[in-house]
Structure 1
Amino acid sequence: MIRVLLVDDQHLVRMGLRMLFDSAPDIEVVGEAANGSDAVRLVDDTVPDVVLMDLRMPGLDGVAATRRIMSARPSTRILALTTFDDDDHLYPVLSAGACGFLVKDTAPADLLDAVRRAAEGDHAFSPNALARLVDQALTTRSTTSPPPLPLTRREHQILALIGEGLSNPEIADRLNVGVTTVKTHVSSVMIKTGCPNRIRLAILASQHNLT
């Protein structure tokens, strides 16, 4: 069971998120906080696996709260969930220790997938945020051609769709296969390429002009 703490200053947002997670048999909401200070306290009280963190809140904001939580409990996985999809919010919260950055119009299935991936040690990003991270990483890439990828045709397809920022459910829908099948292919691509997470896979896809 994945233990989740919800942090958002809007009660209606927290209520909607709780209803979504209550529908998932493998996720349990262990607490709610309306500000960063309460979030820091509740992490100690509830010991969640994943914290879904709003960024703009009264008092202690989400970036400062993320920094304090990661300092005290570095194994906690924190996913930023915000209305503001810009670099002024993306890079500070990642520097504070967040493992992902999602906007609030993320589809419910993608949000559930992101929480599960975060709990497993992976990263999760909205497509626009992922694209900006990839662009920044590629500004210093080598101009030489990368070596061929040791992937099957299906794995090439999977890698290309990861490069576009698609989640596992979206890839499954695009390719008309099951989510479990997609997860198996993603794991295989990671092993074959030595990429530890989806950010590195997205960069690799761009380097090979798959996007």
Structure 2
Amino acid sequence: MAEVVRVLVVDDEALVRHALRAFLAADERVTLVGEASDGTEVVDVCRATSPDVVLMDIKMTNVGGVEATRHVLEWNPQCRVVALTTFTTEWRALEVLRAGACGYLVKNSTPTQIVDAIVAAHAGDRVVSPEVQERFVRAAIEAGESRATGDPTLSDRERQIIELIANGLSNAEIADVLHYAESTVKADIRHINHLWGVENRLQIVLRATELGLISL
């Protein structure tokens, strides 16, 4: 018989946790070992419950899902994190995947799809919701079509910002690392978008990869 996957649910909405608790209990492939209502609790609960997979919300008060994902993997690099969120934008997915998550699901997924993703993540696979995969593909195509000729000159700070974007950091986190105002970081990102003819973070990362500035 296949190993039962130990799951920790992290979500700041009690109703969501209740729904997840109900259908996880109905599937013999998984067992719910714990819950956390905020990213600040997640490592303590992980230590207490030793989950195989953490089902992680993205937008939470205090510590969000991207930062919480990093904390989980610092605690145990073998633990698998699957994001479960309402966001379908590709740059949100890129942020948490770059932080180390191995899956990205939207909350309109069916119970079976979510459990299938948990089991697949535990087996070492990467799972992304179809609508988010479609956005990745579209962004890649648009980045190729709008790519500027040559490599417009970037400042050292802009190159640092691109690397930090690729590592999944938010604007506020980038500002903190570089010791600049968040408004300065936003202005630099707008300048990068203008230079490269791109519109969002994912396209910045794809373009930087094409130019060999970073590697994914």
Picking from 1, 5, 8, the partner of 1:5 is 8
Q: Unaligned 5+ residue runs, structure 1?
A: 142-211
TM normalised by structure 2 equals 0.61
1:116 maps to 119
18, 37, 41: which one pairs with 2:40?
A: 37
Counterparts of 2:118 and 2:21, CA distance in 1: 13
- The equivalent of 2:52 in structure 1 is 49
Deviations 1:100-142 (A, max 9, x none): 110000011111111110111111111121123345567899x
1:70 to 70, 73, 82: 73
Counterpart residue type for residue 3 of structure 1: R
Aligned 1:192-203 pairs, distance under 5 A: none
Q: CA deviation at 1:91?
A: 1.0
Question: Structure 1: how far apart are the matches of 2:140 and 2:75?
Answer: 29
Question: Post-superposition shift, 1:88?
Answer: 3.5
Aligned residue number for residue 86 of structure 1? 89
Of 47-56 and 84-93, more deviation after overlay is shown by 84-93
Q: CA deviation at 1:70?
A: 1.1
Cα separation, 2, equivalents of 1:29 and 1:77: 15
Q: Distance in 1 between matches of 2:43 and 2:100?
A: 14
* Structure number with bigger Rg: 2
Change in CA separation of 1:138 and 1:72 when aligned onto 2, cut-off 3 Å: farther
1:133 partnered with 2:126: no
Q: Which residue of 1 aligns with 2:103?
A: 100
Letter in 2 for 1:121: G
Q: 1:136 to 1:19 in 2, by over 3 A?
A: same
What amino acid sits opposite 1:83 in the alignment? T
- Residue 71 of structure 1: how far off its partner (Å): 1.9
Equivalent residue letter for 1:133: F
SS class of match (1:37): coil
Once the two structures are TM-superposed, the CA of residue 22 in structure 1 deviates from its matched residue by: 0.2
Q: Secondary structure at the match of 1:79?
A: strand
Tell me the alpha carbon deviations over residues 175-198 of structure 1, each in whole angstroms, 9 at most, x when there is no partner. Answer: xxxxxxxxxxxxxxxxxxxxxxxx
Q: Counterparts of 1:178-193 in structure 2 under 5 Å?
A: none
In structure 2, list runs of 5 or more residues that go unmatched.
Answer: 145-216
In structure 2, what is the Cα distance between the partners aligned to 1:73 and 1:138?
A: 36
C-alpha offsets along residues 153-204 of structure 1, whole Å, 9 cap, x if unaligned?
A: xxxxxxxxxxxxxxxxxxxxxxxxxxxxxxxxxxxxxxxxxxxxxxxxxxxx
Instruction: State the aligned residue count.
Output: 141
Q: Give the letter for the 2:11 counterpart.
A: D
